[in-house]
Amino acid sequence: MKNWLVEQLQRMNLSDVLVRPQGFTREGYTSEETEAIEVFKTIAEELGLEASEDAAGNAIARWNVSGGQAAVAMGSHLDTVPNGGAFDGGAGVVCGLGALKMLKEADFEPQRPIEVICFRSEESSRFGVSTIGSKAMSGLLDPSIGTLEDQHGVTLAQAAESQGFVWQELLNAKRPKEQLKCFVELHIEQGMHIVNHEKDYGVVKGVACPIRLAVTFNGKAGHTGTTPMDQRKDALAAAAPFISFVQETALQVNDAYGNGKSLVATVSTLTVSPNSMNVIPQTVTAGVDIRSVDDRLKMKMADAIRSEAKRIEETTGVAIDIEVLVDNPSVLLDDGIARQLVDAGDHEAYLAHRMDSGAGHDVMNMAQTWPSGLLFIPCKDGLSHHPDEFAAAEDLKMGVELLSRFLMEATANAGNS
Amino acid sequence: MKNWLVEQLQRMNLSDVLVRPQGFTREGYTSEETEAIEVFKTIAEELGLEASEDAAGNAIARWNVSGGQAAVAMGSHLDTVPNGGAFDGGAGVVCGLGALKMLKEADFEPQRPIEVICFRSEESSRFGVSTIGSKAMSGLLDPSIGTLEDQHGVTLAQAAESQGFVWQELLNAKRPKEQLKCFVELHIEQGMHIVNHEKDYGVVKGVACPIRLAVTFNGKAGHTGTTPMDQRKDALAAAAPFISFVQETALQVNDAYGNGKSLVATVSTLTVSPNSMNVIPQTVTAGVDIRSVDDRLKMKMADAIRSEAKRIEETTGVAIDIEVLVDNPSVLLDDGIARQLVDAGDHEAYLAHRMDSGAGHDVMNMAQTWPSGLLFIPCKDGLSHHPDEFAAAEDLKMGVELLSRFLMEATANAGNS
C-alpha cells in the first residue's frame, strides 16, 4: 500500500518525485491542475470507480451501489500555491483513493455509495479567494467573484472558461443535501501539535477563520535632517507600538486561556510610503491576521486593536483608519463524525489528538450542509506552502487505515441518511 | 530688485511660475539641468559677468578684476528632486546673481574677483549620492561612483557623458586652493527654526551629516494560522520595539541636551518579506538615519542602537545584522565668515539666528578647502522637497542685501587671500 500511495501521488503531481528544490506550482483553474485531475480520474477508473466532473470542474470518483442512498464522501484538492509541496491537498486525495482500494481488496461490501472528491482551486494564492470548488458544491459561491483577477489580469471567470467551464454554470455544481450523508477531509497538519502532544494523528474540532484588518497610519512627511523630533508625525513610529501590542496581546490571551482556547494574531504585512532614507514616513499600512476557533475571542482581539489604535492616534496625532478585509465566522465540525474518527484510531491502535485547525480547508464549506470531519496526518517539521513540505509514506498509510475503518462503520447500513 | 529676482528664478526654472501642482523635476546630469544652467550663463552675461563651465559641468559667473587675487565665491545648484520646488538651490543661485547686480548698480568696485557658482547634481535622488559637482571642485570626488545607476539603469558616468562631460575628466574640475578666498552658500532653511525664534535669517555653525544604518531582522516564516504564538520568530514583531527605541531615545537625548545640541534619528525605510497576509514575516530591513552636528552624539546613538539590537536578538531569537551605509563626520563652518554674515545683518537691520543645519549642502565640500559659510532664508512652513516649497520675494531680496553687504566687506581689499 505504501508504494502504491507514493506512486499515485507522484502521478497526480505529474512528477516522479515528491520533493524537489523548486517545489510544485499548480494553481487553480490552470491546465496543470486540469492535467492532475485527469490523472486522478484515470486512477479512479483503474480502481473500478466511476469518474465524473461537475459544472465547477470538481472531479468525483464514486463507488456506486444499487439504490439511491446518500453517499459517504471524502476529498481534498490537487492545486498548490506557487512553489508549494506535493502533499497539501494531494495527501487527502490519494488517501481517499487508497481507502477504497483497501476496502475493495478486502472484499468489503458497502451498503451505500462512497465518493472521493477532488475539489478545484482550493488555494487563495491566485485570485485571493480560497476553496472555489467546494464553495460551488456547497452552494456558497458568490458569482460576483468571477471578476477577480490574477496577477496577469486574467479573471477567475476567464480562468475557469480556459479549462472548459462556463462561469455562470458553476452555480449548477451545488449538490442537493440528500445526495451525501457526510463528508470527511484528510489533510496534512501544517503544524506541530500532533507530534508535540506525542500523538499519531489529529481530529479537528473547529476550523479557525480569520478576521483580517488593514490598519493605515496617516502621518506627515518631512526632511529627516531638519524636522525636530518633537514636531513630527512619523507614521512608522506610530505603527511600532501597534505591532508590539498585537504580538503581546495575543501572547497574553493564550496565557490566560491555555492551550484549549487559543488565538493567533499577526501583523504580517507592512508598507511604508515614501520609504525613502531622508524622508519621515508619511503613510504606513499594516495587515493584521487574527484567528481563533472562538469567534468571540477574535472579536475581542479586534476590539482591543481598535482601542489601541485610538490610544495611539490620541498620543501621536497620527490619524489611523481601520478597514475590515475579511471577517468569517469559524466553523465547528460535527461531534459525531469526530467521535467516529477517534474510534477508528482506537481500532487501529493509533492515538488521536483532538485539536483545532488554524488554516482553512474545503471541509469548512462542506460542513455548512453536511455533517463533516477533518483528520490531520503529521508533516515534517510542520512545514507547508514550502518546497520542503513532506509527509511520510507511513503516515499516508495510517491515513488510509483510518479512513477505511471510518468508511466500514459509516457505510455498514443503508439507513436514513 | 524683487521683480527681477522672481523673473530670473522663473527663467532658470524654465517656467513662468514658481509654484505649480506637480512641482519641478530637474535631476542631476539631465538635459533639463543643462538647460537651466544655460539660462544661468545667459543671465550672467546679461549682467556683464564672464560665464564658463568646468570639467564637471559646474557653471561659474565671474566678475573679474585685474590681478591674480583669490576670488570670493558664492553658489548653490539648479537640479531638483523629482516633484521638488523652485527654491531649493535656485534661491542661492539667483541671490548670488542679484548681489552682483546690486553692487554693479551701486558702482561698487571690488578689489578681488567675485564668483557665483552653479554646482551640478546636488540632490541624491537620482544616483543615491549628493553634491557631485561640489565634490569634484573640492577634490573630494571618488571616481568609482561613476558606476552608480539611476532607476533606469543609466550610470552616473553615462549621465555625465550624455551632457557632454567625460567622466574621468571630472577630476580635473578640482580647483587649486589659491583660486578662492572663501565660499558662502545661501539656501532656503527647509525648517522652522528662524521663524520659531522670531529672527529674519539663519547663520549656520555646523552641517549635520548622517550616520545611516541598514538593520536586518532575520526571523522565520510560517503559517499565520497554524504557528503558535510562543513558537514564532516574527521579524516584524522583533523590529517593532527597535523602531520605538530609536524614536524614544532620540527624544530623550534632545530633552537631555536641550536645543543647543540636538540629534535626530529616524527609521525612515522598512521592507518586509514575504509581506503576505498569511505568512509570518521572515525578514525585515529597517533603514536608520541619524544626524547631529555633534559626531560623538551620533556615535553614541549608533552604539545605543547596537546594544538595543543585541538585547532584542537575545530576547526574541531573531538574528540581527547591522550594516553601516554612511558615516560622514559633520562639518563645522568657519567662525570668521559666520561673524561677517551676522555683521551684514546688523548693518541691514536683519536679525540673525545662529543655528545648525540638519541637511547637507554643497558648502560641506567647499568647507574642506576654503573658509566657508552658510546663510539660510526662511521658507513657507519649513516645507521643501515638495511641490508647495516657497520662499517670499521679500526674503530673496533680504538674501541679496545680506550677500551684497558681505561681499563689500570681503572684497574691500586685495590683501593676502
pLDDT tens digits for range A102-131? 999 999 999 999 999 999 999 988 887 889
In this predicted structure, the answer to whether residue A34 has a pLDDT above a threshold of 60 is: yes
In this predicted structure, the answer to whether residue A259 has a pLDDT above a threshold of 60 is: no
C-alpha grid cell for residue B54?
568646468
Last residue of a domain, one of A284, A303, A327: A327
- Taking CB atoms and an 8 Å cutoff, what residues of chain A touch B236? 243, 267-268, 270
Q: Are residues A218 and A335 in the same domain?
A: no
Whether the bond between A113 and the residue before it is cis, its omega within 30 degrees of 0, is no
Percent of chain B with pLDDT over 90: 80
Q: Which residue of B has its CA nearest to A269?
A: B275
Minimal C-alpha gap between A67 and chain B (Å):
42
| Torsions phi, psi for B206 (to 5 deg) | -145, 155
In this predicted structure, the answer to whether residue B11 has a pLDDT above a threshold of 60 is: yes
Q: Are residues B223 and B188 in the same domain?
A: no
| Cα→Cα distances B79→A171, B123, B364, B377, Å | 60, 7, 17, 19
Minimal C-alpha gap between B207 and chain A (Å):
10
B232 is in an annotated binding site: no
A20 is in an annotated binding site: no
Task: Give B291-338 pLDDT, tens digit per residue.
Answer: 998 899 999 999 999 999 999 999 999 999 999 988 888 999 999 999
> A158 in helix, strand or coil?
helix
Q: Are residues B125 and B193 in the same domain?
A: yes
d(CA B257, CA B297): 10
**Positive or negative torsion for Cα A24, A29, A35, A40:** positive
In this predicted structure, the answer to whether residue B415 has a pLDDT above a threshold of 70 is: no
Which residues are paired to A377 by β-bridges?
Answer: A188
Q: Are residues B52 and B196 in the same domain?
A: yes
* pLDDT value of residue A223: 84
| Residue position matching grid coordinates 536586518 | B216
- Listed in sequence order, the DSSP H helices in A47-155 are 90-105, 132-137
In this predicted structure, the answer to whether residue A325 has a pLDDT above a threshold of 60 is: yes
Q: Are residues A238 and A280 in the same domain?
A: yes
Residue A355: enclosing H or E segment and its boundaries? Answer: strand A352-357
Interface test with B, best of A277, A290, A298, A388 (most B CBs within 10 A): A277
* pLDDT value of residue B28: 96
Of the candidates A243, A269, A359, the beta carbon closest to that of B240 is on A243
Which is higher by pLDDT, B387 or B376? B376
> A371 in helix, strand or coil?
coil
Question: Which CATH number belongs to the domain containing residue A299 in this structure?
Answer: 3.30.70.360
User: Residue B331 class from Cβ within 10 Å (0-12 exposed, 13-18 middle, 19+ buried)?
Assistant: buried
* pLDDT value of residue B305: 97
| Cα→Cα distances A288→A44, A234, B271, Å | 42, 20, 16
Whether B415 is in a domain gets the answer no
Which is higher by pLDDT, B55 or A130? B55
In this predicted structure, the answer to whether residue A328 has a pLDDT above a threshold of 90 is: no
What Rg do the C-alpha atoms of chain A give, in angstroms? 23
In this predicted structure, the answer to whether residue A163 has a pLDDT above a threshold of 90 is: yes
Q: Which amino acid is at B95?
A: C
d(CA A329, CA A309): 23
Q: Is B220 on the interface with A (CB under 8 A)?
A: no
pLDDT, average across residues A6-34: 96
User: Residue A401 class from Cβ within 10 Å (0-12 exposed, 13-18 middle, 19+ buried)?
Assistant: buried
The answer to whether the CB atoms of A230 and B385 lie below 8 A apart is no
Which is higher by pLDDT, B402 or A385? B402
Whether B108 is in a domain gets the answer yes
In this predicted structure, the answer to whether residue B261 has a pLDDT above a threshold of 80 is: no
Residue A11 banded pLDDT, cuts 50, 70, 90: very high
Put simply, the chain A residues between 271 and 290 with a CB less than 8 A from any chain B CB are: 271-272, 275-281, 287, 289
- Taking CB atoms and an 8 Å cutoff, what residues of chain B touch A266? 224, 234, 280
Whether B42 is in a domain gets the answer yes
Whether A40 is in a domain gets the answer yes
Put simply, the chain B residues between 371 and 400 with a CB less than 8 A from any chain A CB are: 382, 384-386
Percent of chain A with pLDDT over 70: 98
| Residue position matching grid coordinates 523673473 | B7
3-state helix, strand, coil in chain A (%, to 5): 40, 25, 35
Put simply, the chain A residues between 18 and 57 with a CB less than 8 A from any chain B CB are: none
| Cα→Cα distances A377→A40, A94, A193, A401, A417, Å | 21, 13, 11, 12, 28
Q: Which residue of B has its CA nearest to A274?
A: B269
What is the DSSP code (8-state) at residue B84? B
* pLDDT value of residue A244: 97
- Taking CB atoms and an 8 Å cutoff, what residues of chain B touch A227? 191, 264, 358, 382
Last residue of a domain, one of B327, B353, B369: B327
d(CA B99, CA B403): 6
* pLDDT value of residue A225: 87
d(CA B395, CA B376): 10
Task: Give A202-252 pLDDT, tens digit per residue.
Answer: 999 999 889 999 999 999 888 888 888 988 999 999 999 999 999 999 998
Q: Are residues B254 and B134 in the same domain?
A: no
- Taking CB atoms and an 8 Å cutoff, what residues of chain B touch A272? 269-271
Whether B98 is in a domain gets the answer yes
d(CA B110, CA A38): 92
Residue A417 banded pLDDT, cuts 50, 70, 90: very low
Residue A415 banded pLDDT, cuts 50, 70, 90: low
Q: Are residues B10 and B156 in the same domain?
A: yes
* pLDDT value of residue A85: 94
Q: Are residues A301 and A393 in the same domain?
A: no
pLDDT, average across residues B46-61: 98
What residue numbers bound the domain in which A149 lies? Answer: 2-207+330-410
Whether B144 is in a domain gets the answer yes
Question: Which CATH number belongs to the domain containing residue B201 in this structure?
Answer: 3.40.630.10
Length of chain A, in residues? 417
* pLDDT value of residue B417: 43
Q: Are residues A315 and A358 in the same domain?
A: no
Instruction: Out of A5-19, B58-72, B388-402, pick the least confident.
Output: B58-72
Task: Give B95-148 pLDDT, tens digit per residue.
Answer: 999 999 999 999 999 999 999 999 999 998 888 788 999 999 999 999 999 999
Task: Give A294-318 pLDDT, tens digit per residue.
Answer: 899 999 999 999 999 999 999 999 9
B361 is in an annotated binding site: no
Q: Are residues B266 and B317 in the same domain?
A: yes
Put simply, the chain A residues between 183 and 212 with a CB less than 8 A from any chain B CB are: 189-192, 208, 210, 212
Q: How high is the mean pLDDT of chain A? A: 94
* pLDDT value of residue A261: 60
Last residue of a domain, one of B327, B345, B367: B327
C-alpha grid cell for residue A42?
484515470
CA angle B277, B279, B281 (to 5 degrees): 100
C-alpha grid cell for residue A39?
490523472
d(CA B341, CA B355): 13
d(CA A361, CA A213): 21
State how many domains chain B has. 2
Interface test with B, best of A88, A224, A364 (most B CBs within 10 A): A224
Would you say A370 and A177 are in contact if contact means Cβ atoms under 8 Å apart? yes
- Dihedral Cα A161, A165, A168, A170, nearest 10 deg: -130
d(CA A212, CA A197): 30
Whether A417 is in a domain gets the answer no
- Dihedral Cα A18, A20, A23, A24, nearest 10 deg: -50
In this predicted structure, the answer to whether residue B259 has a pLDDT above a threshold of 70 is: no
The answer to whether the CB atoms of B250 and A229 lie below 8 A apart is yes
Which residues are paired to B321 by β-bridges?
Answer: B216
Q: Are residues A313 and A371 in the same domain?
A: no
Interface test with B, best of A243, A293, A325, A388 (most B CBs within 10 A): A243
pLDDT, average across residues A49-78: 95
Q: Are residues B241 and B309 in the same domain?
A: yes
Whether A416 is in a domain gets the answer no
